[in-house]
Copies of this chain bind each other. A is one copy, B any other.
Amino acid sequence: MIVVMASGASKEQVEHVVQLIHDMGLVDHVIVGTDRTVIAAIGDKRQVDKTRLERAPMVEKIVPILSPYKMASREVHREPTEIPFGPSGATIGGGKVAVMAGPCGVESKEQLLATAHAIKKTGATAIRGGAFKPRTNPYSFQGLGEEGLAILAEAREQTGLAVVTEVLSEEEVLLVARYADVVQVGARNMHNFRLLSAVGRQDKPVLLKRGFSASLEEFLLAAEYVIAAGNPNVILCERGIRTFEDYCRNTLCLAIIPAIKRLSHLPVVIDPSHGTGHAYMVPDMAKAAVAAGADGLIIEVHMDPEHALTDGAQSITPAALDELMKQLSGIAKAVGREI
Contacts and interface: CB of A to CB of B under 8 A. Distances in A.
Contact of A168 (B75, B168, B188, B194): B194
Contact of A52 (B23, B140, B192, B305): B305
B251 A247 contact: no
A89 interface: no
Interface in A298-339: 305-313, 315, 327, 329-331, 333-335
A225 interface: yes
Interface stretch (A93-101, A148-156, A238-246): A238-246
A229 B47 CA distance: 37
A253 interface: yes
Contacts of A168: 193-194
A80 interface: no
A79 interface: no
B256 A253 contact: no
A258 to B, nearest CB: 5
Contacts of A308: 49, 52
Interface string A282-303: 0011011111110000000000
Interface string A1-18: 010100110000000000
A215 interface: yes
A203 interface: no
Interface string A29-56: 1010111101010111011010111111
27 contacts: A8-B75, A31-B40, A33-B65, A40-B40, A46-B139, A47-B140, A49-B141, A49-B311, A55-B305, A55-B306, A55-B315, A62-B313, A68-B139, A136-B191, A136-B221, A168-B193, A169-B170, A213-B244, A215-B245, A241-B243, A243-B244, A247-B259, A252-B255, A254-B288, A284-B293, A285-B292, A287-B335
